[in-house]
Amino acid sequence: MSPFFLLDYNSKINFSARNEPRGVGVHPHRGFETVTIAYQGAVSHHDSAGNSGIIYPGDVQWMTAASGILHKEYHEQEFSLTGGDFQMVQLWVNLPAKDKMSRPKYQDIKNAEMARYNLPDGGGVIQIIAGEYKGIKGSASTFSPLHLYNARLNKGAKTTLSFPENFNTGFVIIEGGVLINGEEVALTDQFVHFNNDGDEIQVEALESSVILVLSGEPINEPIAQYGPFLMNSQEEIQIAISDFNQGKFGYLED
């Protein structure tokens, strides 16, 4: 669903307390961005560009791997010690060929600072992570046109989302249940993929709901993917593997 290449959805699960934090050790990326959105729980992040941080519910970590980076992600120490509900999404957002070898960067988007549009009549709120909604722009910078929202709707709320017809659009129902375009019901943990016909989507919350909204202009370029690398040709994949083996992605202690 270009420009989105992968959706890694950790539906709600309860983790037991643990002294040694669960997580993913040091690994490389090249050619795309990882966007991690926290709904429950807390994750610590470190990368070889010197960036680090913790995301809590409502926060977003936007890491541009681009030319190459090493990173690791673990349950935050206090969350690991106490345990509790955990629910997160990680997206892989492809980069245009001209930007794949640009310098890595990191955007830390806190819930308290996120752009918002309050729906009328107490209907809820649209949190704008990237792109814009009704003229309000999200703080994340992107390499190609895309919109990324958390739509938090109260029961009975109705709203209309509008995207260009050629944009690829999908919903992840994080919580609750919604009626889409007056016809289809989508419930917790379901994914909705829209056809490219028309530019408006009507949504009605059947109960208090949270929807992750993804919409972006497709990047019409060849794709070559191997493990944690997302490039345009197999030759570039081989170069990425060679560069990683030669230590060109930097150093990060496991």
pTM of the model: 0.95
pLDDT tens string, the chain, 254 residues long: the values are 999 999 999 999 999 999 999 999 999 999 999 999 999 999 999 999 999 999 999 999 999 999 999 999 999 999 999 999 999 999 999 999 999 999 999 999 999 999 999 999 999 999 999 999 999 999 999 999 999 999 999 999 999 999 999 999 999 999 999 999 999 999 999 999 999 999 999 999 999 999 999 999 999 999 999 999 999 999 999 999 999 999 999 999 88
* Nearest alpha carbon to residue 116 among 104, 106, 125: 125
Q: Provide the pairing of β-strand 60-64 with 32-40.
A: antiparallel
Domains of the chain, first to last: 4-111+222-245 (2.60.120.10), 114-216 (2.60.120.10)
Helices (H), the chain: 77-82, 234-245
CB atoms within 10 A of CB 21: 16
Residue with tokens 């909604």: 133
